[in-house]
Structure 1
Amino acid sequence: MKHSIFLLDDSVNFPDASLAQDEPNGLLAIGGDLSLPRLIEAYRHGIFPWYSEGEPILWWSPDPRCVFPIDDVHISRSMRRELKRKPYQVTINRAFAEVLDGCAAPRAKEPETWILPEMKQAYEQLHQRGFAHSVEVWRDEQLFGGLYGVSMGRFFFGESMFSSAPNASKFALIYLAHYLKEQGFLLLDSQVGNPHLYRMGAVDIPRSEFLNLLNTHIDWPQPKGMWLPKTLSEWQ
């Protein structure tokens, strides 16, 4: 059954994510703002903003949903050798703004960015309130890659990653998944799949399954202090 695209008002409430469009896949609503209460409400219900410059704010909940089960991040033999070589140091929440800038920078195949100034400001506010976090990859105190996302309950909602040196973003993802597993997390959400994510072990699950998991685990209390700035333990 085809549903209408919902127009948001001043309320921070969203329509049920199961009512999102089949085409374009996952488009649920349009409008509203990027205020802290609205973004928190969106993530709690499996919805995220994604739009380009010149467009209104668009809100999405795709079906299927691309996720990494925490135990299933794939590490190739060549990548295991790289991990043992330890070319990088990996940290959490030591350079959130810099990671955001790295993710927002134009890329060879993607000259335009969806991480617009108002998006950066919104996620910086989420970071300041303890919801958004970054993983940084360093060598000789220089930032070479990283990722950022939103953490609630037993979920980390990955937003974007960048790399300016070989395998730097892979290091960020692998170390984050290892850390989330240690802390009792369930899923690392990647929203929409692509060949790179699938090679790393991401899988598609029905949106209904994803929303059921959210409903069950979104209020799980995260371990105290887990997002304090720190260096992640070496991969064994």
Structure 2
Amino acid sequence: MSLTADLLLHAYSAGVFPMAEHRDDPEVFWVDPKRRGILPLNGFRISRSLAKRIRNGGFEVTVNRDFGAVVDGCADRAETWINGEIRDRYLDLHLMGNAHSLEVWQDGVLAGGTYGVSLGGAFFGESMFSRRRDASKVALAYLTDRLVQAGYRLCDTQFLTPHLASLGGIEVTRARYQALLREALKTDADFTRPAVPGPQLLLQRMTQTS
């Protein structure tokens, strides 16, 4: 079965997602973890050092300015699950309005970012990357705020890594995830609607909700 954008959306709505063994492997397989990583939208942890970086790091944050570059940045590592077909299908989803990127720039250079798939009130975070210190953490802080402001109910991180756990990520059972997903899919959310806040407003809002 060939991978299509519509098949991807159906898979996400059922709680599964695609991966490849490595970038040169043409085969794609489906993953449905027994324990699922999520990032509670009211539980993002901003340390003092991260708050200082957000205030003073000189970052510019944009949305959907360079989706392809963010996907490529996420795949630019020794081992990646993003093969050519998966990359192309996410670009298709982006053109359809179902996949979005958040870019973090520093000194005019793409320093980091994250991207994911949007369906109803669920956002399926796919990957993130960082080329400068804390850029991926900055991206996740802005992403979490955006999801709250846009009316999302669920931020799926697929797996829980130590990095995500340090920022407030948790793990839930497959059954709990499915229940959260069903509720989120009943909700309408618009990733593109909120304006990108300045650092002070971001930190103020996230302090109030965390």
Using the size of structure 2 for normalisation, the TM-score is 0.89
Identity among equivalent pairs (%): 38
Equivalence for 1:34: 3
CA shift, 1:86, in A, is: 4.3
Equivalence for 1:113: 80
Task: Kindly indicate whether the alpha-carbon contact (under 8 Å) linking 2:26 and 2:85 is maintained by their aligned counterparts in 1.
Answer: no
Q: Deviations over 1:44-96 (max 9, x none)?
A: 11110012243632101112110001011111111111122142011110110
Q: Secondary structure at the match of 1:71?
A: coil
Q: Deviations over 1:133-162 (max 9, x none)?
A: 000001232111001100111111011111
CA shift, 1:117, in A, is: 1.2
Equivalence for 1:157: 124
Equivalence for 1:94: 65
Q: Secondary structure at the match of 2:112?
A: strand
Task: Kindly indicate whether the alpha-carbon contact (under 8 Å) linking 1:33 and 1:57 is maintained by their aligned counterparts in 2.
Answer: no
Task: Kindly indicate whether the alpha-carbon contact (under 8 Å) linking 1:136 and 1:147 is maintained by their aligned counterparts in 2.
Answer: yes
Distance 2:45 2:3 in 1: 34
Higher-helix-fraction structure: 2
* Amino acid in the other structure paired with 2:192: W
Distance 2:29 2:15 in 1: 14
Distance 2:71 2:118 in 1: 16
Q: Secondary structure at the match of 2:39?
A: strand
> 5+ unaligned residues in a row in structure 2: which ranges?
204-210
Larger Rg: 1
Once superposed, what is the RMSD of the aligned Cα atoms? 1.6
Equivalence for 2:33: 62
Of 71, 92, 112 in structure 2, the residue corresponding to residue 125 of structure 1 is 92
Distance 2:109 2:135 in 1: 12
Task: Kindly indicate whether the alpha-carbon contact (under 8 Å) linking 2:154 and 2:180 is maintained by their aligned counterparts in 1.
Answer: no
Equivalence for 2:196: 232
Moved over 3 A (4+): none
Of 137, 143, 149 in structure 2, the residue corresponding to residue 170 of structure 1 is 137
Distance 2:107 2:159 in 1: 33
Distance 2:195 2:66 in 1: 12
Using the size of structure 1 for normalisation, the TM-score is 0.79
Aligned length, in residue pairs: 198
Q: 1:220 to 1:231 in 2, by over 3 A?
A: closer
